[in-house]
Amino acid sequence: MGKFLRINTSDNSFTFEETPETYAGLGGRALTSKMILDEVPATCHPLGKQNKLIFAPGILSGSPAADSGRMSAGAKSPLTGGIKESNAGGLVSQKLARLGITALVLEGKPTTDEYSMIVINKDGVSILPAKELAGKGNYDVMEALWDQYGKNVGVLSIGQAGEQCLKGASINQADMNGRPGRAHGRGGLGAVMGSKKIKAIVVDDKGAGRLKMKDPEAFKAANKRWVEMLRKHPVTGEGLPALGTAVLVNVINESGTLPTQNFRSGRFDNAQDISGETMADTIESRGGIPSEACHPGCVIKCSNVYHDKEGKYLTSGFEYETIWAFGAHTMIKKLDDIAMLDRLCDDFGLDTIEMGVTIGVAMEGGMIPWGDGKAAVELLSKIGTYENEGKIIGNGAAFTGDALGVDRIPVVKKQALPAYDPRSCKGVGVTYATTPMGADHTAGYGVTANILGVGGTVDPLKKEGNIELSQGLQIATAAIDAAGLCLFVAFAVLDNEDGLPTIVEMLNAQHGLELTPDDVLELGKSILNNELEFNKKAGFTKVDDQLPEMFTEEFPPHNTKWDFSTEELSKTLSF
Amino acid sequence: MGKFLRINTSDNSFTFEETPETYAGLGGRALTSKMILDEVPATCHPLGKQNKLIFAPGILSGSPAADSGRMSAGAKSPLTGGIKESNAGGLVSQKLARLGITALVLEGKPTTDEYSMIVINKDGVSILPAKELAGKGNYDVMEALWDQYGKNVGVLSIGQAGEQCLKGASINQADMNGRPGRAHGRGGLGAVMGSKKIKAIVVDDKGAGRLKMKDPEAFKAANKRWVEMLRKHPVTGEGLPALGTAVLVNVINESGTLPTQNFRSGRFDNAQDISGETMADTIESRGGIPSEACHPGCVIKCSNVYHDKEGKYLTSGFEYETIWAFGAHTMIKKLDDIAMLDRLCDDFGLDTIEMGVTIGVAMEGGMIPWGDGKAAVELLSKIGTYENEGKIIGNGAAFTGDALGVDRIPVVKKQALPAYDPRSCKGVGVTYATTPMGADHTAGYGVTANILGVGGTVDPLKKEGNIELSQGLQIATAAIDAAGLCLFVAFAVLDNEDGLPTIVEMLNAQHGLELTPDDVLELGKSILNNELEFNKKAGFTKVDDQLPEMFTEEFPPHNTKWDFSTEELSKTLSF
């Protein structure tokens, strides 16, 4: 069993402790959520000394299991006021796991204004002044740290947004090229890191050796089946590798559920301009990279590198949600503008979903005109220059709507809704409403059976079956997040009877366990119950498990409304 | 029984209806809170079409009862998200009562951007375009309306803050000189009026005649005793008439509970510079008015008119809470700067407590320097010019703290704490924590027995007796707010066995009732229960009935901490 590394930012001391028995076998979201419930007072200020920021590799992280390199970050969220888990790819998860660190915990809060950085390697921990990195964006920070520590280290860092403790702030991870294209995006965890004055964390596993397997042969066999399964499924084997997640623009627009102009309709006239097909053509013609992994061992490779008109690097990890948020939602139709907005988010350290939705809300409130990409770039840039306008929009959609007196604000628990309208994709709508995370598609991606025909079919326009769909997906997702697996493996798992058993075999072979598939689902339930308990202690009630008033408006083209009662929704996570 | 006047702002239509039987005998806070509970969906957006803004004269309003001219305004609060009652003096309450209007209800929400104004007189209601008033401050609006409708009409209006739907926005009432010195200040009700695009309301009772008394002789006799009681008490008969509420600056500073520099200590080195004594001297030497009534029939006359160095009118209704908030709390020590900040709040239509506390939080977050009055004036002025900085601070202390990443934000239910530190005046601290209104001293003014020796004595530094003190005061205050009486009558009532019976006699004589003092206290309880029920439906829990983390800091000079558990506090309003 590995160790917890606790760093007390009040005095920059640290301790290693053996992972306590009560946390044995936990990882990723299972570990961060349980530790937060156990250690963080639910009513504390998210930016105060009592909050903790916890990073935990998934249970399979560090192993050769395909697509197992996701790491969970958890804390009380400055955005939602509830518990938060946000996971990302990159290099840190696998390196922490190989260093035998099951959880990296940032505690306390310094009284100084000076930033520090943390370097973790096989010899121990250094906490160093980070004066020269302060005020810099993630691109500069990561370049400087790769220059200093070598091009093989994992890096976590915050940009100007995290330094300002903005609710939209992400914690970014260096991708495999040392660029901040991956992010623990949702829930403002960058603000928690900023409040603790930690600018960056470098993780170097040089000399740590491979993870020891309890049963290497069984693991190898299971992982072989696992890789095949991922490669054979049309979504993980073809759609995502070819066009990235942006493959969804046309699909979701076609299905009439691409929220356009702040959730006024489900079809965007200019969807073709921002589609995955257009993006892939653009990338190809300019010499970018259409398909790339976000962490070693990924076989799906849905990430990418997008070049500008001059053929120079502009951004990477350019995703469907980002393209939707800065595109259809705001009516911006130039992909290059959207790519620049994505780059700024990565550089300043901001959640692209939150920021895109925020820009749309700012348009709703008359701050800038609808569809004006240049104005959006200018507005977003004010976060990087610490201007007061940046302190409005950098705090997210709910905050910006409040600043501007807007009453159409698409948030749940103050977190912005993602790229699928809940009125015509009700399975994901149930997830938005009920997940302890605030509106989050990744918490229970009902788009699968609602629209993609994966894991069965459930009518996206009707209520029937969608509570159950969301429930099943939320439980499975929590377990996947605990394992450190990429959520996209779910496409293959949902369509394959051998999916879950194969994951369980890898878990058992790695750790010498005797888990059954039912145990894994029980783990998912226990994670959700821990999260719900934290939120209850923080003051959340069933009133918070509902979509805002604006979704009672009729939504074209299907002209459906949000019609779940709070009572109905309360069944989703009752188990 | 009077009538409800309902104005549907969606189409600017209106209806009169007989006051329904279920609301018979209710007025002021009793009526607004019950109607909001009954008619406003608790989870609606406060700026949306489902919220209602309700004005109700007190039960005694319109009668000759001394100090009975206060009017309640109620709605779901944009600041707290809970129910709100905010009452003010001025001319409207008595005039509405004489016109036989028990409640004026603004409903719906227009889709247009055009402002309207409402004129109510004995002949009926006119809803007129208010294009020429839009964008103007309350001083200009009230001057224009008095010019147009005569110097005897009551006026309610919003300034630039309400137009921007800011959470700190007040609804101002013309005082007896037609100036916006009186305000329905707390809870952002000006934003609700702004969301409904009503810029002003003119109430003219010309020709309406006097209110009919059921028993004029009994009323006259009771009112005579009532007036004597108010005149004889040292607070209502001497302290308040002589120095206004600012008499408290030295008293509260001396007792070590004047929150200084964002609640860091209880004594302000420059308290003398901003004291009631200094203010009275300044007013006198410059030809201002040291003592003035806020509504006809007031015998306490705690209001005032403050002139500038040139002897010209600067502001009026210059109160202790305002002086504290812009003074000790922010370390600004020049009374003239504070008076200018008060004037700007009245003109833009802003709650002075919320804004003063916000300026202090902005100083905490580094937006402007501590104690810099000129910088504060400049920053506050940005609300009047619709600048983005104004959209930060105009939304109040919690919002501004969030914008700046500050974790010391003195609010309960997002409403700023008033001028008495809860750690060394625990009776009022219990009220801050538990009143359904959000932090509000007027909801249960424990300063009485804690510091002023009125209505007994309870140690302000210890827990013992302070839950009970707050409970009793909250019940009594709710009843006083329902009667339309000025809260300051409580000083006399608490020290006089004949106080409550005299009020009851006036109620009975006016309306032909047979109430007992117990009935009046039951009314107080029922008001609180209605408000608690609304808040529960809106998602509030006992977690919200607590002070923020910062109050666990030790507070000099008494070095006390806030030490009530949520469990202890939950007993306050359990009856």
Question: Does B537 contact A546 at a Cβ distance shorter than 8 Å?
Answer: no
Question: Does B48 contact A407 at a Cβ distance shorter than 8 Å?
Answer: yes
Cα–Cα separations (whole angstroms), residue A38 to A97, A108, A537, B102, B566: 22, 16, 12, 53, 19
Size of interface A-B (CB pairs under 8 A): 90
Chain B residues within 8 A (CB-CB) of chain A? 42-45, 47-48, 50, 164-167, 191, 194-195, 367, 388-389, 391-392, 395, 399, 402-407, 409, 537-541, 543-544, 546, 548-550
Determine phi and psi for A189, rounding to 5 degrees. Answer: -65, -25
DSSP structural state of residue A393:
H
pLDDT digits (tens, 9 = 90+) for A382-405: 999 999 999 999 999 999 999 999
pLDDT digits (tens, 9 = 90+) for A224-265: 999 999 999 999 999 999 999 999 999 999 999 999 999 999
Both tokens of A220, joined, read 């190898």
User: What is the rounded average pLDDT of the residues B549-561?
Assistant: 97
| Count of beta carbons in the 10 Å neighbourhood of residue A174 | 28
Whether A122 and A207 have beta carbons less than 8 Å apart is answered as yes
Q: Which residues in A340-442 belong to E strands, given as ranges?
A: 411-412, 415-416
State residue B153's pLDDT score.
Answer: 97
Measured CA to CA, the distance from residue A138 to residue A168 in angstroms comes to 15
Q: State yes or no: pLDDT of B356 exceeds 90.
A: yes
Chain B positions touching A43 (Cβ under 8 A) are 543, 546, 549
Measured CA to CA, the distance from residue B294 to residue B96 in angstroms comes to 16
Whether A275 and A433 have beta carbons less than 8 Å apart is answered as no
CA dihedral B25→B26→B28→B30, nearest 10 degrees, is 150
Question: Does B403 contact A391 at a Cβ distance shorter than 8 Å?
Answer: yes
Q: Which of A103, A98, A109 is nearest to A36 (CA)?
A: A103
Chain A positions touching B411 (Cβ under 8 A) are none
Q: State yes or no: pLDDT of B106 exceeds 90.
A: yes
pLDDT digits (tens, 9 = 90+) for A553-567: 999 999 999 999 999
Place of tokens 């490669």: A231
State residue B5's pLDDT score.
Answer: 98
Nearest CB partner across the interface for B544, out of A50, A166, A539: A539
* Closest-CA residue of chain B to A552: B44
Chain A positions touching B366 (Cβ under 8 A) are none
Query: pLDDT tier at B400 (50, 70, 90 boundaries)?
Result: very high
Query: pLDDT tier at A53 (50, 70, 90 boundaries)?
Result: very high
Q: Hey, of B9, B10, B45, which one would you mutate to test binding to chain A, going by the most A CBs within 10 A of its CB?
A: B45
Measured CA to CA, the distance from residue B337 to residue B401 in angstroms comes to 23
Q: What percent of chain A has pLDDT over 70?
A: 100
Whether A334 and A341 have beta carbons less than 8 Å apart is answered as no
One-letter identity of residue B307: H
DSSP structural state of residue B285:
H
State residue B69's pLDDT score.
Answer: 95
* Closest-CA residue of chain A to B46: A407
State residue A42's pLDDT score.
Answer: 98
Measured CA to CA, the distance from residue B437 to residue B454 in angstroms comes to 24
Measured CA to CA, the distance from residue B213 to residue B513 in angstroms comes to 11
Q: State yes or no: pLDDT of B6 exceeds 90.
A: yes
Chain A positions touching B537 (Cβ under 8 A) are 543
Chain A positions touching B406 (Cβ under 8 A) are 47
User: What is the rounded average pLDDT of the residues A179-205?
Assistant: 98
Determine phi and psi for A232, rounding to 5 degrees. Answer: -85, -25
Measured CA to CA, the distance from residue A261 to residue A505 in angstroms comes to 46
State residue B486's pLDDT score.
Answer: 95
State residue A187's pLDDT score.
Answer: 98
Q: What percent of chain B has pLDDT over 70?
A: 100
Whether B341 and B326 have beta carbons less than 8 Å apart is answered as yes
- What order do you get walking across the sheet with A83-88 strand by strand? A13-18, A3-8, A101-107, A53-57, A71-76, A83-88
Both tokens of A273, joined, read 């301009």
Question: Does A537 contact B549 at a Cβ distance shorter than 8 Å?
Answer: no
Measured CA to CA, the distance from residue A394 to residue A386 in angstroms comes to 10
Q: State yes or no: pLDDT of B79 exceeds 90.
A: yes
Does ipTM come in above 0.85?
Answer: yes
Q: Hey, of B402, B533, B551, B570, which one would you mutate to test binding to chain A, going by the most A CBs within 10 A of its CB?
A: B402
* Closest-CA residue of chain A to B399: A399
Q: State yes or no: pLDDT of B1 exceeds 90.
A: no
pLDDT digits (tens, 9 = 90+) for B234-279: 999 999 999 999 999 999 999 999 999 999 999 999 999 999 999 9
Whether A153 and A145 have beta carbons less than 8 Å apart is answered as yes
Q: State yes or no: pLDDT of A1 exceeds 90.
A: no
pLDDT digits (tens, 9 = 90+) for B127-168: 999 999 999 999 999 999 999 999 999 999 999 999 999 999
Place of tokens 């934000």: B409
CA dihedral A408→A411→A413→A418, nearest 10 degrees, is 170
Smallest CA–CA distance, residue B405 to chain A, in Å, is 5
Place of tokens 């702004």: B194
Question: Does B391 contact A395 at a Cβ distance shorter than 8 Å?
Answer: no
Chain B positions touching A392 (Cβ under 8 A) are 388, 391-392, 403
pLDDT digits (tens, 9 = 90+) for A468-523: 999 999 999 999 999 999 999 999 999 999 999 999 999 999 999 999 999 999 99
Query: pLDDT tier at A525 (50, 70, 90 boundaries)?
Result: very high
The overall average pLDDT reported for chain B is 97
Both tokens of B528, joined, read 């609180």
State residue A557's pLDDT score.
Answer: 98
Which domains are delineated in chain B? 3-203 (3.60.9.10), 243-419 (1.10.569.10)
- The three state secondary structure string of A480-536 is HHHHCCCCCHHHHHHCCCCHHHHHHHHHHHHHCCCCCHHHHHHHHHHHHHHHHHHHH
pLDDT digits (tens, 9 = 90+) for B187-209: 999 999 999 999 999 999 999 99
Q: Hey, of B193, B387, B388, B400, which one would you mutate to test binding to chain A, going by the most A CBs within 10 A of its CB?
A: B388
Question: Does A399 contact B403 at a Cβ distance shorter than 8 Å?
Answer: yes
Cα–Cα separations (whole angstroms), residue B541 to A80, A468, A536, A538, A569: 16, 28, 9, 9, 20
Question: Does A391 contact B392 at a Cβ distance shorter than 8 Å?
Answer: yes
Smallest CA–CA distance, residue B561 to chain A, in Å, is 16
